[in-house]
Amino acid sequence: MAQVLVTGSTEGLGLAAARSLLDDGHRVIVHARDAQRAGALREVADRAAGVVLGDLARADQTRSLAEQVNALGPLDAVIHNAGMYLDARRVATPEGHSRVLAVNVLAPYLLTCLLRRPRRLVYVTSAAHRDAEPNLEDADWTSRSWDGVRAYAESKLLLTTLAFAVARRWPDVLSNAVHPGWVPTRMGGPTAPHALHLGHVTQAWLAVSEDEAARTTGGYWFHQKLARPAPAALDESFQEQVLETLARLTGQPFTP
């Protein structure tokens, strides 16, 4: 039995992953942005090992979230599921960051640094990361004209790169990235072509399975099969640049 944190578990793929893990007998810590959103957890909250709260667009609440989780005991795995899609304009967080960057990248980075180190890390990314240019000069979109689609793709490239950087830097941790497919969640929309039930299977499997394939690291997965990520994400020099950029933007050095 594993203890697993699933971020963004009030709906969609996060809720599906939490339910699946609970049904299989694992201890699951579920996460909601606030108490009102936690009400959507319903029966999952009653079965969970804990319910933690924190708005991942806010650095102070992300740090508080890490403290709440650490107080619940050691983790075996974290599924970094929480994310957001398109902002029509650049929405600034209290720290002045792009909200898309903060939720999709800065928060997972902070949690990676601040949580007790688990045995497995799973970062839910997107195939859109392949459409992004590996350019960190204005990762926070402070000088460029806002492009929501491009900002989202860039955030997922940074997240995928983070997963591979962690795999290389922490050889005792299994760190992988997962593209769940275009599935009919609130983010994916009702016309998404992939089956909803396939969207959460891979991340839950990587978090707890003892299958030989699931006990590997540094992979980019799609429906329990290895796929090819953007070449930049595999570049060690770019990985180091990403870690340095995230450390600078958050004020949190990467844990050696």
Identify whether 152 is a catalytic site residue.
Answer: yes
- Which token pair is 224? 């329990």
Among the listed residues 85, 109, 123, 156, the single catalytic one is 156
- Over residues 49-66, mean pLDDT: 98
Identify whether 109 is a catalytic site residue.
Answer: no
Distance between CA atoms of 3 and 26, rounded to whole angstroms? 6
Instruction: Summarize pLDDT for 155-192 with one digit per residue, the tens.
Output: 999 999 999 999 999 999 999 999 997 654 455 445 44
- Over residues 4-21, mean pLDDT: 96
Q: What integer pLDDT is reported at residue 192 of this predicted model?
A: 47
Q: What integer pLDDT is reported at residue 181 of this predicted model?
A: 75
CATH numbers and ranges of domains, the chain: 3-250 (3.40.50.720)
Among the listed residues 85, 109, 123, 152, the single catalytic one is 152
Distance between CA atoms of 100 and 152, rounded to whole angstroms? 7
pLDDT > 70: what percent of the chain?
94
Residues 115 and 167 sit within 8 Å (Cβ to Cβ): no
- Over residues 73-102, mean pLDDT: 97
Closest CA to 256 of 169, 194, 131: 169
Instruction: Summarize pLDDT for 192-202 with one digit per residue, the tens.
Output: 445 556 779 99
- Over residues 20-49, mean pLDDT: 94
